[in-house]
Amino acid sequence: MLRHSLGQAMAFAFMLLSFAAPAAAADYDAPEPSNALRLELLGRHTAPEIEGAAEIASYDPATKRLFVVNSNQVTVDVLDIADPKNPNKIAALNLKKFGGVANSVAVHGGVVAVAVEAFDKQDPGAVHIFKTDGEFDAPLASVPVGSLPDMVTFTPDGKYIVVACEGEPDDQYATDPEGSVWVIDMQQGPTKATGRMAGFQGFNLSKDELQKAGVRIFGPHSTVAQDLEPEYIAVTPDSARAYVALQENNAVAIVNIAKAEVEEILPLGFKDFSKPGNSLDPSNKDGGIHFGTYDNLYGMYQPDSIALATIGDTLYLVTANEGDSRDYDGWSEEERVAKVQLDPEAFPNAAELQKNEALGRLKITKTLGDTDGDGDFDELYSFGARSFAIWKVKDHKITLVYDSGDQIERITAAMLPDYFNSTDDENNTFDDRSDDKGPEPEALAVGEVGGRSYAFIGLERIGGVMVYDITNPESPVFVTYRNDRDFSGVVPEGTAGDLAPECIDFIPADQSPNGKDIIAVANEVSGTTTLYEIVQ
């Protein structure tokens, strides 16, 4: 049922006022929006469970239904969006008997696939297959896959389902299952679906080589296969290969889908925070918004959502560079800069840098940075890049052609200066996430509107969706930013608007319920699924 509140109306009004301030962008050297298009609110569905009740959304054009993962209830909620101004829940796929958490959903050709982790998430999970217009009480098929299936998608031709199985360790880091990618063959129909594993065991003897190339393999006592953690999948337009984000490992795997075989593991490298245009605010204890560049400080790209886009005749990989760490009871890689010993030659001003108002509060990994092995840090590596990036794909290689640098942080500083780097589950948290990963670009979709290519980027912490024109992949243009969060609301009471966009589903005009280009945004913390029309 569509629900409106005074708080949501206030949030919208606030955003309009924010974007009307002409001097704001100049205050923080942020790019001015081109306003080539805007996101116009159509409708919103709010799940009563709120937190965790809207994580991943996938649209079925035949039934005009949106399938939304409700991890809170271990269901997939079925929303009728034939009237996108009034999204209405009509059913739910109840998955409680199959496992502990539903993680992902994908739709293609009248079939919906749901990834569900086991009750003990270190055990193998499964993908359950239903018809989009059929009975939801029992699946057509249930296909066993690897540990912690975290993302599921169909190939464009519908012949295969590809599953990223993260294989996370337990809290004590005593049990660490292997990460894997599974390929489910749908060519004989959903009732005869079969799965094959594209595993990483073949790379176990190449650990040193991969580490030297820049792939992070760093878990205690882990093999390569145990350490690699597939997070997100993008499939090439010809359905031949899957590009798989290995988030914690700061790498991407290439999988031959028909063969169910991992062909390459490619490191993504690091972002240099000493370069102009790559500044950041690294402290939540500096009393305000303070951007700076720092020598020997790097960011690991560590993308969450990724997408492939053909622009002109060239294929590009677009990444939302959220960042993620391993922080378990039994072992953690995290530390603050103030707590480590800095090399006096690399950091002659170490005492100043390690103050809270400088780099002292910034979280870094302990697994990188001691380049000469003498026990102190010659370089510092933080989690994520606080950006989105575009990579050229050619001959099974990827080459960085664009990174948004510090634009996302500067845009949010300019447009929402009172709420800069807020967290996503509590209001009155100005600057709270600066020492972590800033705005955390997480959700991502690409789509073509009016003959031009656009990237839609959801910011997990402060919230909202940024839009960039990526028609020229080497020189994207900032278009607009829409945030329907109410910073005066109360999060547990559901009065704070949209919080923590986890997924964006682009629905092209020729498939959408109103004949217009739409995005559906699943907001994890607020349990809201919000529909926007893309208006030129």
Decide if pLDDT at 520 tops 80: yes
The residue behind tokens 């062909």 is 263
Query: Cα 273 to chain center, whole Å?
Result: 22
Decide if pLDDT at 3 tops 50: no
Residue 25: the pLDDT is: 60
Encoded tokens for 241: 């290969």
Residue 371: the pLDDT is: 97
Decide if pLDDT at 2 tops 90: no
Residue 10: the pLDDT is: 36
Q: What is the DSSP letter of 178?
A: P
Taking residues 7-12, report their average pLDDT.
Answer: 37
Q: In angstroms, rounded to a whole number, what is the distance separating the alpha carbons of residues 243 and 264? A: 10
- Residues 6+ positions from 296 with CB-CB distance below 8 Å: 274, 346, 347, 378, 379, 380
Taking residues 302-318, report their average pLDDT.
Answer: 98
- Residues 6+ positions from 428 with CB-CB distance below 8 Å: none
Decide if pLDDT at 15 tops 90: no
Residue 26: the pLDDT is: 59
Residue 8: the pLDDT is: 37
The pLDDT tens digits for 351-397 are: 999 999 999 999 999 999 999 999 999 999 999 999 999 999 999 99
The pLDDT tens digits for 393-415 are: 999 999 999 999 999 999 999 99
Taking residues 436-459, report their average pLDDT.
Answer: 98
Q: In angstroms, rounded to a whole number, what is the distance separating the alpha carbons of residues 159 and 194? A: 11
20 pLDDT tier (thresholds 50, 70, 90) = very low
The pLDDT tens digits for 154-168 are: 999 999 999 999 999
The pLDDT tens digits for 35-70 are: 999 999 999 999 999 999 999 999 999 999 999 999
Residue 134: the pLDDT is: 83
The pLDDT tens digits for 282-299 are: 999 999 999 999 999 999
Domains and CATH numbers, the chain: 6-268+303-324+384-535 (2.130.10.10), 271-300+326-383 (no CATH)
Q: What is the DSSP letter of 339?
A: G
135 pLDDT tier (thresholds 50, 70, 90) = confident
Residue 17: the pLDDT is: 33
Query: Cα 412 to chain center, whole Å?
Result: 18
Taking residues 444-449, report their average pLDDT.
Answer: 98
Residue 27: the pLDDT is: 83
Residue 23: the pLDDT is: 37
Helix (H, G, I), strand (E, B) or coil at 212: helix
Closest to 304 measured CA to CA, from 365, 231, 236: 231
Burial class (CB in 10 A: 0-12, 13-18, 19+), 516: middle
Rounding to the nearest 10 degrees, give the CA dihedral for residues 208, 214, 215, 216: 90
132 pLDDT tier (thresholds 50, 70, 90) = very high
CA angle 326/116/195 to nearest 5° reads 105
Closest to 334 measured CA to CA, from 312, 362, 307: 362
The pLDDT tens digits for 239-274 are: 999 999 999 999 999 999 999 999 999 999 999 999
Q: In angstroms, rounded to a whole number, what is the distance separating the alpha carbons of residues 536 and 533? A: 10
* Cβ atoms 408, 466 nearer than 8 A: yes
- pTM (predicted TM-score): 0.95
